[in-house]
């Protein structure tokens, strides 16, 4: 099990962003599952909608990709929201991250599982805290 950042899941939606490393994470999620904070769904939806508006992806393709992702064993951590104003905000300050990114880091740190992220700043902060990062 790992914490899945939206940046990795979105790489599965666009051919020019996919890589062998993100494909390997997809296989790992299929077999072992992933944890996400509730904001993950909003982030995916927002990025795909923006891509649709820019004509990078068509509406039917957005729906198809979301359907495929929804079939994966992805579990929402119910405690992330309650930690937003204390642990997450403090972590965001300490590591100079957005609250959104700090939410993923806090979850991976708290659950002692790897973090899958393509975000360089988030990955660097995770490594500083001893959290394993993929890819």
What is the structure's pLDDT at 90? Answer: 95
| φ/ψ (deg, to 5) at 82 | -65, -15
Output the CA–CA distances (angstroms, integers) from residue 129 to 2, 5, 12, 108, in the order listed.
16, 17, 27, 10
Taking only the tens place, the pLDDT of each residue in 65-116 is 999 999 999 999 999 888 888 999 999 999 999 999 999 999 999 999 999 9
Q: How confident is the model at residue 46 (pLDDT cuts 50, 70, 90)?
A: very high
Domains and their CATH numbers in the chain: 2-134 (3.40.50.1010)
What secondary structure letter does DSSP report for 72?
S
Closest to 39 in 3D by CA, of 89, 82, 81, 90: 81
Cβ atoms of 102 and 89 closer than 8 Å: yes
Q: State yes or no: pLDDT of 56 exceeds 90.
A: yes
What is the structure's pLDDT at 48? Answer: 96
Residue with tokens 């390997």: 24
Of all residues in the chain, the percent with pLDDT exceeding 70 is 100
Within 10 angstroms of residue 35's Cβ, the number of other Cβ atoms is 21
What is the structure's pLDDT at 83? Answer: 86
Q: How confident is the model at residue 43 (pLDDT cuts 50, 70, 90)?
A: very high
The half-sphere exposure of 109 on its side-chain side, counting CA atoms within 13 A, is 19
Orientation angle between helical segments 39-53 and 59-70, nearest 10 degrees = 160
- pTM exceeds 0.85 for this model: yes
Of all residues in the chain, the percent with pLDDT exceeding 90 is 93
Could you tell me whether strands 115-116 and 2-4 are parallel, antiparallel, or unpaired per DSSP bridges? parallel
Mean pLDDT of the chain: 95
């Amino acid at each position: 099990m790992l914490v899945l950042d939206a940046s990795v899941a979105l790489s599965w939606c666009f051919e020019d962003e996919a890589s062998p490393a993100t494909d390997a994470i997809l296989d790992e999620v299929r077999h072992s599952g992933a944890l996400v904070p509730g904001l993950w769904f909003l982030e995916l939806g927002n990025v795909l909608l923006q891509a649709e508006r820019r004509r990078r992806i068509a509406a039917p393709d957005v729906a198809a990709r979301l359907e495929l992702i929804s079939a994966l064993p992805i579990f929402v951590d119910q405690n992330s929201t309650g930690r937003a104003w204390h642990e997450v905000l403090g972590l965001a300050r300490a590591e100079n991250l957005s609250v959104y990114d700090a939410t993923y880091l806090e979850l991976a740190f708290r659950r002692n599982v790897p973090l899958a992220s393509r975000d360089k700043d988030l990955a660097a902060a995770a490594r500083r805290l001893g959290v394993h990062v993929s890819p």
